Amino acid sequence: MALNRLTTGRTLWPLALASLLTLAACSDEPQQGMEGMKVPVSVIQVQPQAAVLRTELPGRVQAIEDAEIRARVNGIVQSIDFEQGSKVKAGQLLFTIDPAPYQAARDQAAAQLKNAQAAAQTARLLAQRYTKLIKQHAVSQQDYDNAVAQSRQAEAAVAAAQAALESAKINLDYTRVTSPIDGTIGKAQVTVGALVSATSATSLATVHRLDQVYVDITQPVAQIAELRRQIADGIVKPDANGDAQAEILLDRGTTYRHPGKLLFSGVAVDPGTGQVNLRALFPNPEQILLPGLYVRVRLAQGVDQQALVVPEQAIQRTSDGKNTVVLVKDGKAVFTPVEVGPRTEHGYILYQGIQAGDQLMVEGFQKVRPGAPVQPMPWKQGQGDAAGQGGAQPAAAGGQPGAEKPAGDAAAAAKPAAGQAH
């Protein structure tokens, strides 16, 4: 019996070994076939085109006119004559300060003027009589000179009284506080019965003109220097219209419907920030832009006639933070580092790493690793990822190009993904 078991074991051992070798050979064949499989990817052919160079910069909205309404006389606020937050016209009554003491001062000044005028009349008549008498030698020269001097002094007193009356009238007018401009008024800073002072210039309210607004922008001086270099080298041509167009980007990337124009660029650099101040003017008929609002401003700075523009999703970001694209050369995927330039309406301008006529991969990154064979197919803008290939993710907020998943991770995941598809 023991002899039979030994014989049977010796017979089964070669059979088991042969089975294992057969399975290993079967598992190797798909691996070898998978290595030579071409992954279908969507590509475009890069061609030079004219592109408007735009840059996005931070800005702060400022009212085109701000009128701070302040007290110009001392007194008690009798009434508030406007609706807070409403639109007001120039000359419209806003506040009334107790006018009684200023009416009394005006009446007193008016009385003093009449007194000065009466004294001036008497002095003038005396001087006229002495003028006749001096010719007849009826009065002394001294008396005549005194009469003429008194007449002139009386006339000066009349002028002073007139000025005092005018000052009293002005102070009385200041008790009626009016709006100096057309605009929208905010809240009242005082209440009825409050004591206001001209000495401390008590703030009463503020009127903003908002039919148009300024946007104060800051731009790094390095960007300006680079733009000037490109213009000097003939790469970029300045805007032929002369007025630089500006757009405002609101929350969630929406564009403000009314375009503006750049008024001026600063001539000095802020030593604390290394930036230059710019100002743009925007229409604001709906009063969407309010003073103090933070916005992003997109400025058109020139035209690049030979720009190499690629879709945003074609730019990948590696794990070390560099931007790369995938070119198709000799049927293989070539990962190439690039320098990303300004954003345009159709994507980003690339300055280094690609040339006109290159085939650039737009979709299918998740199944591709460096040097892998690929099957290029024309890309149709707006199409989705086919058969689970997966395309590049949109750029993150802030306009930075590149997929959220690093290109290195996508390359590392290519082999398992291909095995699953196979």
DSSP code, position 391: B
Q: How is 183-210 classified by DSSP, letter by letter?
A: EEE---SS-TT-EE-TTTT-EEEEEEEE
- CA dist., res. 55 & res. 255, Å (int): 14
The pLDDT assigned to 72 comes to: 95
Q: Judge contact between 204 and 69, C-beta under 8 A.
A: yes
- CA dist., res. 120 & res. 248, Å (int): 68
Name the token pair of 257: 């419907």
Q: Judge contact between 212 and 66, C-beta under 8 A.
A: no
Half-sphere exposure for 180 (CA within 13 Å, toward CB): 11
Q: Which segments of the chain have a pLDDT < 70?
A: 1-36, 226, 230-231, 233-244, 381-422
Q: Judge contact between 60 and 294, C-beta under 8 A.
A: yes
- CA dist., res. 167 & res. 169, Å (int): 5
The pLDDT assigned to 231 comes to: 67
- CA dist., res. 362 & res. 379, Å (int): 7
Instruction: Look at residue 24 and give its three-state secondary structure.
Output: helix
Q: Judge contact between 330 and 346, C-beta under 8 A.
A: no
- CA dist., res. 362 & res. 365, Å (int): 8
Q: Judge contact between 310 and 350, C-beta under 8 A.
A: yes
The pLDDT assigned to 241 comes to: 53
Residue 29 makes CB contacts below 8 A (sequence gap 6+) with none
At 271, phi and psi to the nearest 5? -65, -20
Q: What is the distance in angstroms between the CA of the first residue and the CA of the last residue of the chain?
A: 50
- CA dist., res. 92 & res. 205, Å (int): 13
Domains for the chain: give ranges and CATH numbers.
35-50+307-421 (2.40.420.20), 55-62+209-304 (2.40.30.170), 72-97+175-201 (2.40.50.100), 100-174 (1.10.287.470)
Instruction: Look at residue 400 and give its three-state secondary structure.
Output: strand
- Identity at 407, one-letter amino acid code: A
Overall residue count recorded for the chain in this entry: 422
Q: Judge contact between 274 and 224, C-beta under 8 A.
A: no
Q: Other C-beta atoms within 10 Å of 246: how many?
A: 24
Largest CA distance in the chain: 182
User: What is the average pLDDT score of the chain?
Assistant: 79
3-state secondary structure 168-185: HHHHHHHCEEECCCCEEE
* Helices 141-174, 100-135: inter-axial angle, 10-degree rounding: 160
